[in-house]
């Protein structure tokens, strides 16, 4: 059995003679010289991969094959082999991080039960967790909104936060950034990311893997990193390598300049449309060309953040003078900045505009062609130019509707397309001073003309960084946003993650009782169905200034390029162009008020937390004292009754379809993060446990309780299960009950009790969206043994394997419809048993009643086959810990 349990940053082998030194002043650091082996025009992102392989070379055939494939890399070469990477750090947020720490705590329990030392279950790779996903925008539009939302946050999440503090005390190399410090990806680029890391006498690239798919935001700073599932993150924290196929690299050449009035948001929506249309799933994207130098790091980070929306694994920007300037500006130590520059130039990681790398595929974009845009109403890649947004909306909701509501003593006729939420939110744009200042200046000009936000709009401001409010205050802009209702609601993901809180009550009633279709406009990166707010069907991504504009307009049924936002005090029309700030005005404020001291002050106490955090009591124990009556934290069941050796793999027979789904099924469909409603299966379960309706909280906050999350599997109210085509929501057919319609959870419970395996059938892009481990854990606990889909998104497929669920893919040109599968059949999957001999079958035979077809086995690497044989990553790692050499325990604490 392979062992990768050492906490060292290097293997000590030097089979290729690349070990050298890097001089930094009077000091010397060890490096592996990439130039000695890499082709001259190897993409920069692959240079970082090569460095990692050289540093951890173990003499095995797989490692050698991967190194030699990179040494002989050609743009049009054959498909790459498997590479096994080891990150320099693992990056988590609280909603995925709590389950990760809960799993590690359960592994400690299992280790103790099997006779081992629970302290051996301990991170060997530094791990950082930022608490940013739990604050909800309950209170808005008032000066004390943030204070009240934080109070509610701690009241709801006291138990989870106490658990995280236990983890920080009990687990080595595990650091927590407490609530209220900002969104994880902004904290990452402003404080945590090193670009080049110095550790144990080595200089090495900051290779960062995170449990959020938008970890790629750090690519904008020249750091290679991407999102992995929480399950993979656990393995990486415990010293396991992360296996992946060596990706193709798509070069995107940028040239020209953005026109006046066009924001980084418009640019990223254009890039998302371009790359999603081209097809970059499973590939790296690397930006180059003269246009890159025109983009500040904040704009690069905005683009890299939305890498999951265009589907690639990473979206890498090179290290250059802009990178160094950003590091200095955000308060990094001058000696460290010098290390970044010296290392990047020595290792061929410095931008070279005159001689760009060669790429597997090449695209280009003229920045001057970018125009103001939105994306929606359901997918980030569905870009709509601003001047066509009204027509696109009307094509989405063609029929008329009028619902009268009374607000502030006045009656208003609300129509389809009423903007119910306008949120300046998320990591994507609220990290970018240019767009944030543009939004505030637009608010100032609008207020000065006498405009106001519409009373039915829920207006929220949740910046990615605390520094935003510092420069707003310094520039005197905070008051104008507040005048339009954009009071600070908190520093966290909030609306973008689905923690948007309730709508204005009168609007909520109009939706429920009047059949009104309302919209949200947010400066986020995700707008999938059912994600933002359960009562909001239409969701549009937009820049922060356009969020302000739509709050004033109050409807999507408007052409902001020609129709007025409203009228001024004299009754004259005010158009968007009348209040849009001049770029020079924006630039003057950004240059005049932002200074490094803001970042130094903002992050001086980043790990300390407020008095609430510091007052949390933590049990001083190696294992966590679980509370059986908890509704937030329960010991996960994945390792219950685990034998020391895995059982043989068997074919799957007599299986029934739990759900049959179409294309573009996201992890939000499979495991929603938003509010738990009282009428849901999870809501009723909590009510039975004496949880009051106002305390139900969100699925995201309850990810430490598997009894809730099992009931949340496929619980999205917008789910369309083709077994029940006329019903929207978490319903299915129960074939053990004569095909009666039943809640998905109830049907699954019956199948489990009868020992009937279940499968999921799906279309293209299954598992798109957030890197949500519960989208695999939930189905696994429901008894799903396999998913047969036309195609998978990368992270979700990996998560399924990590939970012992078999991903199978229809052959090219086939899907459920072409094969005539209606989902009522009984299924058998045959041909899996060669896995017991270390062989991964390319295809298996699937029988559905009288139909038989082949499906591709998507165990893409030998390591994934190991995980599946063991029933998932956690059993594999635990068995490896039990099976390691006697002295391995010493390494676990170094």
Beta strands in 568-704 (DSSP E): 573-574, 652-660
Cis peptide before 377 (omega within 30 of 0): yes
* Residue-range domain boundaries for the chain: 373-602, 652-672+718-860
Fold of 373-602: Aconitase; domain 3 (3.30.499)
d(CA 765, CA 775): 14
Predicted local distance difference test score (pLDDT) of residue 80:
78
| Phi, psi torsion values for 702, nearest 5 degrees | -105, 25
pTM score, whole prediction = 0.86
Q: N- to C-terminal Cα distance for the chain?
A: 23
DSSP, residue by residue, 786-839: EEEES-B-HHHHHHHHHTTPEEEEEPTT--TTTTT--S-S-EEEE--GGGGGT-
| Phi, psi torsion values for 511, nearest 5 degrees | -70, -50
The residue written with tokens 């099924």 in the block is: 665
Please check whether residue 709 is in contact with residue 671, taking contact to mean a CB–CB distance below 8 angstroms: yes
Topology alike, domains 373-602 and 652-672+718-860: no
Please check whether residue 466 is in contact with residue 491, taking contact to mean a CB–CB distance below 8 angstroms: yes
Residue 612 CA from chain centroid, whole number: 28
d(CA 320, CA 349): 9
Residue 387, CA atoms < 13 Å, CB-side half-sphere: 5
Using alpha carbons, list the distances in angstroms from residue 520 to 404, 538, 547, 568, 652.
19, 6, 9, 25, 44
* Collapsed DSSP state (helix, strand, coil) of residue 312: coil
d(CA 424, CA 266): 15
| Phi, psi torsion values for 24, nearest 5 degrees | -135, 95
* Dihedral Cα 383, 389, 395, 401, nearest 10 deg: 130
Structure-block tokens of residue 599: 């970042």
Predicted local distance difference test score (pLDDT) of residue 63:
80
d(CA 565, CA 568): 10
Under CATH, domain 652-672+718-860 is a member of which superfamily?
Aconitase, domain 4 (3.20.19.10)
Please check whether residue 93 is in contact with residue 131, taking contact to mean a CB–CB distance below 8 angstroms: yes
d(CA 243, CA 53): 12
* Dihedral Cα 535, 539, 544, 545, nearest 10 deg: -100
d(CA 546, CA 566): 15
| Phi, psi torsion values for 229, nearest 5 degrees | -70, 155
Evaluate the CA torsion angle 545, 551, 555, 560 in order and state its sign: negative
d(CA 712, CA 575): 45
Mean pLDDT by 10 residues, the chain (894 residues): 54 91 94 92 96 90 84 84 92 89 91 87 92 91 95 91 93 92 93 96 96 94 93 86 91 96 95 95 95 95 94 96 96 96 97 91 97 94 96 89 92 96 90 94 98 97 93 96 97 88 95 94 88 92 97 97 95 96 95 90 88 90 92 91 92 98 94 91 96 90 93 95 96 97 98 98 92 91 98 91 96 97 98 96 97 96 92 90 54 30
Please check whether residue 264 is in contact with residue 301, taking contact to mean a CB–CB distance below 8 angstroms: no
Residue from 98, 245, 99 nearest 873 by CA: 99
Region of residue 480 (left: phi > 0; alpha: psi -120 to 50; beta: else):
alpha
Please check whether residue 233 is in contact with residue 92, taking contact to mean a CB–CB distance below 8 angstroms: yes
């Amino acid at each position: 059995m392979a062992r990768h349990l050492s906490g060292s940053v290097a293997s000590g082998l030097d089979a290729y003679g690349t070990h050298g030194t890097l001089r930094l002043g009077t000091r010397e650091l060890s490096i592996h010289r990439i130039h000695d082996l890499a082709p001259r025009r190897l993409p920069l992102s692959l240079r970082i991969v090569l460095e990692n392989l050289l540093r951890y070379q173990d003499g095995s055939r797989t490692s050698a094959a991967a190194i030699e494939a990179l040494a002989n890399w050609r743009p049009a070469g054959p498909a790459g082999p498997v590479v096994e990477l080891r990150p320099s750090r693992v990056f988590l947020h609280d909603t995925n991080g709590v389950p990760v720490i809960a799993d590690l705590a359960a592994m400690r329990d299992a280790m103790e039960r099997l006779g081992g030392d629970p302290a051996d279950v301990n991170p060997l790779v530094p791990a950082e967790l930022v608490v940013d996903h739990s604050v909800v925008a309950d209170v808005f539009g008032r000066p004390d909104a943030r204070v009240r939302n934080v109070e509610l946050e701690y009241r709801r999440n006291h138990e989870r936060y106490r658990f995280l503090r236990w983890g920080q005390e009990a687990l080595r190399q595990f650091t927590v950034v407490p609530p209220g410090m900002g969104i994880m990806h902004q904290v990452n680029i402003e404080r945590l990311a090193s670009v080049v890391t110095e550790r144990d006498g080595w200089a090495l690239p900051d290779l960062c893997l995170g449990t959020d798919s938008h970890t790629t935001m750090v690519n904008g700073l020249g750091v290679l990193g991407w999102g992995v599932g929480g399950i993979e993150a656990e393995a990486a924290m415990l010293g396991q390598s992360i296996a992946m196929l060596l990706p193709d690299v798509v070069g995107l050449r940028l040239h020209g300049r953005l026109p006046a009035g066009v924001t980084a948001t418009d640019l990223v929506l254009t890039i998302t449309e371009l790359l999603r249309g081209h097809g970059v799933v499973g590939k790296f994207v690397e930006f180059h060309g003269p246009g890159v130098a025109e983009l500040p790091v904040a704009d690069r980070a905005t683009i890299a953040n939305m890498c999951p929306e265009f589907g690639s694994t990473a979206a890498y920007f090179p290290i250059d003078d802009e990178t160094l300037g950003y590091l200095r500006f955000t308060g990094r130590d001058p000696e460290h900045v010098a290390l970044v520059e010296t290392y990047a130039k020595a290792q061929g990681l410095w931008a070279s505009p005159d001689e760009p790398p060669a790429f597997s595929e090449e695209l280009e974009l003229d920045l001057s062609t970018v125009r103001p845009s939105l994306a929606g109403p359901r997918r980030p890649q569905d870009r709509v130019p601003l001047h066509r947004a009204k027509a696109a909306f009307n094509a989405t909701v063609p029929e008329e509707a009028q619902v009268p509501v009374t607000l502030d003593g006045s009656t208003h006729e609300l129509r389809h397309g009423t903007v119910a939420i306008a949120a300046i939110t998320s990591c994507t744009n609220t990290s970018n001073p240019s767009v944030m200042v543009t939004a505030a200046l637009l608010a100032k000009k609008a207020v000065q003309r006498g405009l106001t936000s519409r009373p039915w709009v829920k207006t929220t401001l949740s910046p990615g960084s605390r520094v935003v409010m510092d420069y707003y205050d310094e520039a005197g802009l905070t008051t104008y946003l507040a005048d339009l209702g954009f009071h600070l609601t908190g520093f966290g993901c909030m609306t973008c993650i689905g923690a948007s809180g309730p709508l204005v009550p009168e609007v909520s009633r109009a939706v429920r009782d009047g059949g009104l279709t309302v919209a949200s406009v947010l400066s986020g990166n995700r707008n999938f169905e059912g994600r933002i707010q359960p009562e909001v069907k239409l969701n549009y991504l937009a820049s922060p200034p356009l969020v302000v504009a739509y709050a004033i307009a109050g409807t999507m049924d408007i052409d902001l390029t020609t129709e007025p936002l409203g009228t001024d005090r004299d009754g004259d029309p005010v158009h968007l162009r009348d209040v849009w700030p001049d770029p020079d005005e924006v630039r003057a404020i950004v240059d005049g008020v932002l200074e490094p001291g803001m970042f130094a002050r903002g992050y001086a106490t980043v790990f300390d937390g407020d008095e609430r955090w510091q007052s949390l009591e933590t049990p001083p124990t190696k294992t966590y004292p679980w509370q059986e009556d908890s509704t937030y934290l329960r010991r996960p069941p994945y390792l219950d009754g685990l034998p020391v050796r895995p059982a043989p793999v068997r074919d799957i027979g007599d299986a029934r379809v739990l759900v049959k789904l179409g294309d573009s099924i996201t992890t939000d469909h499979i495991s929603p993060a938003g509010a738990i409603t009282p009428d849901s299966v999870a809501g009723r379960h909590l009510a039975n446990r004496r949880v009051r309706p106002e305390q139900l909280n969100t699925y995201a906050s309850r990810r430490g309780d598997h009894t809730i999350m099992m009931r949340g599997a496929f619980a999205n109210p917008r789910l369309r299960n083709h077994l029940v085509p006329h019903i929207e929501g978490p319903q299915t057919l129960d074939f053990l009950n004569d095909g009666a319609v039943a809640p998905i959870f109830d049907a699954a419970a019956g199948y489990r009790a009868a020992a009937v395996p279940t499968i999921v059938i799906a279309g293209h892009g299954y598992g798109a969206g957030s890197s949500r481990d519960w989208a695999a854990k939930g189905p696994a606990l429901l008894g799903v043994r396999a998913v047969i889909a036309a195609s998978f998104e990368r992270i979700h497929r990996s998560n399924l394997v990590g939970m012992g669920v078999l991903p199978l893919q229809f052959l090219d040109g086939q899907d459920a419809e072409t094969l005539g599968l209606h989902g009522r059949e009984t299924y058998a999957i045959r041909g899996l048993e060669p896995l017991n001999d270390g062989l991964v079958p390319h295809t298996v035979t699937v029988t559905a009643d009288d139909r038989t077809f082949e499906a591709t086995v998507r165990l893409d690497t030998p390591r994934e086959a190991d995980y599946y044989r063991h029933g998932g990553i956690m059993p594999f790692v635990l068995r490896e810990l039990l099976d390691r050499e006697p002295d391995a325990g010493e390494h676990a604490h170094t």
